[in-house]
């Protein structure tokens, strides 16, 4: 993953993180797995705010391993306890993608609720 010599977040690492976030958006997982995703998103938010390339790389790797089910259930269809991402998780994904794409200085990254530029994280 792209970590510069000074440990700064590189364009390659940002792209890897964005791809991992986009992959998570389409998953259908058991609730326990979504709890793991929520913790990973918290770690990613912290890493992005701090400009911590090593932590961002580590959590990106964790998110890349989540899954693999991308089966969508129809509305009202009974499943096996799996569910798509909640609106809250989708909002966090959007805010993180926006922060990664902004290229702003790390101190200027806004990951607060409602800071998303809107749209889909993929």
**Cis bond upstream, residue 68 (ω within 30):** yes
Question: Is pLDDT at 22 greater than 60 in this prediction?
Answer: yes
Cβ atoms of 39 and 58 within 8 Å: the answer is no
The DSSP bridge partners found for residue 84 are 28
Question: Average pLDDT, whole number, for the chain?
Answer: 79
Q: Which phi-psi region, left, alpha or beta, contains residue 114 (left: φ > 0; alpha: ψ -120 to 50)?
A: left
| pLDDT tens readout for residues 43-81 | 999 999 999 999 999 999 999 998 765 555 555 555 668
For residue 31, pLDDT over 60 is answered with: yes
Higher pLDDT, 15 or 4: 15
Burial of 109 (0-12, 13-18, 19+ CB in 10 A): buried
């Amino acid at each position: 993953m792209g970590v510069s010599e000074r440990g700064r977040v590189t364009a390659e690492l940002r792209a890897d993180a964005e791809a991992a976030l986009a992959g998570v958006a389409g998953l259908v997982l058991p609730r326990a797995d979504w709890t793991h995703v929520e913790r990973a998103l918290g770690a990613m938010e912290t890493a992005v705010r701090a400009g911590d390339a090593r932590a961002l790389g580590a959590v990106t790797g964790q998110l890349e391993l989540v899954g693999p089910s991308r089966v969508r259930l129809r509305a009202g269809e009974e499943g096996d306890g799996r569910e798509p991402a909640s609106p809250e998780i989708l909002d966090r994904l959007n805010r993180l993608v926006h922060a990664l794409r902004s290229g702003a200085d790390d101190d200027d990254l806004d990951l607060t609720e409602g800071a998303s530029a809107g749209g889909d994280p993929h």
